[in-house]
Chains A and B, each alone.
Chain A
Amino acid sequence: MEKMTLSSKTREAQSPTEQWMRYLGFPGGILLFLLIMYLPAGAGLSAGAQAGAASFALALVWWVTEPFPTYVTSLVLMFLLLVTRTSNAKAIMDVLGMEVIWLNLLAFILASMLVKTRLAKRMALWLVVRFGHKASWALLAFLVLQLVLAPLIPATAARCVMTLPLMIVVATIYGSTEATPNNFGKNMMLLNLACISVLSSITMTGSSANLIAVGLIQNMGGQRVYYMDWMRVGAPVAILTMVLMWILGQKLLFRMKPEEQVPQVEGGLELVKKQFEAMGPLGFQEKKAIAIFGLVLFLWMTDIFHMRWFGVEISAPFAALLGAVIVLFPRWGILSWAEADIPWHLLIFSAGAYAGGLALDDTGAAEWGVRMLFGGMNLKGVPFGFTFTVVISVMMYSHLLTTSKTVRTLIMLPIIITLAKALGWSPISLALPAALCIDWVVGLPISGKPNVIMFSTNQFSVGDNFKYGMLTCTIGVAILVISGATWFHWLGITPSFWAVAP
């Protein structure tokens, strides 16, 4: 509980199926690579895009089956992108300087501060003492925490890093460590992973991609979406889905054994209480950590006012950078550089994943894939409900093809608005519900920044993430379709599901 190290060790295969997956994953990835490389090229696809898709598919198979540690796969992917001439050396190397990588690095310095000062332990113990009589209530406490933070801090990676030390310590209390992960740990990490992304769709300011979607609906569709318009359709869908996932995660996907449902420290909850009381009042270093973290949090929450106040916008990584400077400051700070636990293997994994994702976007492979998905269907003359279901499903699951919400929004929303116009529907009837899916990037560890960070805890596998993410997305699609037929229709956003455009 005193430490929060993110190990670079490969997770041990836990079952014979996983052992076989590891053994066959390596040749399987190569075969998929060769299959895509030697397929006859589609007319709309360049050779570079085809090679990029082949390389990404290979990496995806290796990330899922884990014949190598994930960061080694990322390095292989980066090399493949170069030798297949999908990307140039500069574009690949530049990924390590991306905002998300810097944010990860700096945020881990802040997280190390919370661990060293024992503030993370104190908050985790408080959470367990207050809500931890049952494991499911501890999980619910995190759902509520993410629900409160979502409208306050738009940066999902910031929210993730802020709450990660708490998750790790609480998971440890329930016996789930990176060496011996259990189903409580899986539920804890994956519920938080899904909450961080999905709850961003509650408000239109939840992510910059949401705002881009609003702009596209206004510019291309000619219809204005106001803050409350978004919230009254987005909030019920996101919150209901996460409550269902809180239940289904424990009851269906990762059932917890009775011993995993209570604190596993010797002495049980009583000892946790004693440990919490033994910590005594807040120490000076803890107060200093609260002040530093509070400053960073304040800057994250007030980013829309920065230009007015300071004449410059202090973005999320630079707010964290300021915090890191204070944390590492000689004498006045809290940590020395050697005490900062920076998971370089995670940064390399992220860099490879982003290089692959960017290559898919830059070469047009992602856009081609999406166009093929829509182009293969004739939606003229079919009831609105069918078109709505197709659009929502494609939008929801398309996050598996790209790692950037912004790029996906810029590709998908114009297509959906044009499709709505061509079919004779109001653009907002398809575009707004589709825009609600933008933030649901929960299918794979590479699908979003928080996923990358959470995966480094080694508490769940790529397969676990895929299972949890796909169930979340499927429930989301079902709730959106039901809402489209009822709630959205009553609000005047969608026509009747049986209506056929003239």
Chain B
Amino acid sequence: MKMLRLLTFILLASVLGMATDVQTYTIRLQAESDETGKAVGVLALANCTPGVLVLPLGFAAVEDLRLEEPAVGVRLESVARNGMTQMKLTLPADISAKTNLKFSFRLKQVFQVTKLKPGEKSTLPASSRSFKHAFVNTQEGVIGNYRVELIFPNGLMAQAIREQLPKPAKNEVGPRVLLTKLEGRQAAILQLSKLQQGDDTSMVVELVPIRRSFGWLIAGLVLAGLYLFRFRDLVTKPKS
């Protein structure tokens, strides 16, 4: 029994020791007004060991997944699992210890499409779009830094970050999802460090048109004008 445990430990240790390290995993997704999107990702790998490396993409219905700058002997295939797409990378025997891989893919539908049943209440206004991204590290190695950048379509901005998980730890500065500007448009960046196997991270962002309705302006000015007229006695001297 002891020998069996020892053997299992040695096997596990050797597998973990041999696993390719994912130092950084970055995806930049540019969403367009027609709700399609093009993503470019970069993987910085260290201690590369020949064999298969399967990494989840965190997106469903991915199209045209391919390596942008083909590394010699590296193959990339997409594998569908539980409705999500995974990247299956085959690393050749002569791969160098440190390798950067750039890949890209397309998304037909970046935003969530919710079909309402008859009588069901909508939870979003008609002009809103909802983007959801969830990622689970399913491979055995640790991912050093995971980062997803969503560049919003022209004419849209974030109404609110509806979900950002996990909550930042005490020693982390800044929120889990940061709103910023990339390539001249507003963007949301999800970032998490040291993802162990099974760790997950997610964001849900609601987007709305940048241009606000003029309803506020009209209502505000009418109310202000009415008040100034009806309450003018506050500053006029009472007639004797």
Label chain B's interface by main secondary structure: mixed
Per-residue contact bits, chain B 213-229, to A (CB 8 Å; 1 contact, 0 not): 00011001101110110
B231 shortest CB reach to chain A, Å: 6
Give the CA-CA distance A48 to B220 in the complex, in Å: 19
Give the CA-CA distance A26 to B216 in the complex, in Å: 15
Give the CA-CA distance A219 to B159 in the complex, in Å: 33
Chain B residues with CB under 8 Å of A148's CB are none
Contact partner, A364, options B173, B175, B187, B232, Cβ 8 Å:
B175
Contact (Cβ within 8 A) B158 A30: no
Per-residue contact bits, chain A 295-331, to B (CB 8 Å; 1 contact, 0 not): 0000000000000000000000000000000000000
The answer to the question of A369 belonging to the interface, with a C-beta cut-off of 8 Å to chain B, is: no
Contact (Cβ within 8 A) B180 A30: no
The answer to the question of B235 belonging to the interface, with a C-beta cut-off of 8 Å to chain A, is: yes
Q: Could you say which interface size class chain B belongs to?
A: 20 to 34
Given the interface contacts A44-B178, A44-B179, does A23 sit within 8 Å of B234 by beta carbon?
yes
Contact (Cβ within 8 A) A46 B234: no
Number of interface residues of A (CB under 8 A): 34
Contact (Cβ within 8 A) B181 A43: yes
Query: Which chain A residue has the least Cβ–Cβ distance from B177?
Result: A364
Chain B residues with CB under 8 Å of A22's CB are 234
Contact (Cβ within 8 A) B186 A367: no
A435 shortest CB reach to chain B, Å: 15
Contact (Cβ within 8 A) A30 B235: no
Contact (Cβ within 8 A) A46 B161: yes
Contact (Cβ within 8 A) B170 A85: no
Contact partner, A37, options B158, B170, B216, B235, Cβ 8 Å:
B216
130-170 of chain B: CB within 8 A of chain A: 157-161, 170
The answer to the question of A89 belonging to the interface, with a C-beta cut-off of 8 Å to chain B, is: no
Give the CA-CA distance A216 to B180 in the complex, in Å: 26
B109 shortest CB reach to chain A, Å: 23
Residues of chain B touching chain A, judged by Cβ–Cβ distance below 8 Å, are 125, 157-161, 170-175, 178-181, 186-187, 208, 210, 212, 216-217, 220-221, 223-225, 227-228, 231-232, 234-235
A to B CB contacts below 8 Å, 21 in the list: A19-B234, A23-B231, A26-B227, A27-B227, A31-B224, A33-B220, A34-B220, A34-B221, A43-B180, A43-B181, A43-B186, A44-B180, A45-B179, A46-B160, A46-B161, A47-B157, A48-B160, A85-B125, A220-B171, A364-B161, A367-B175
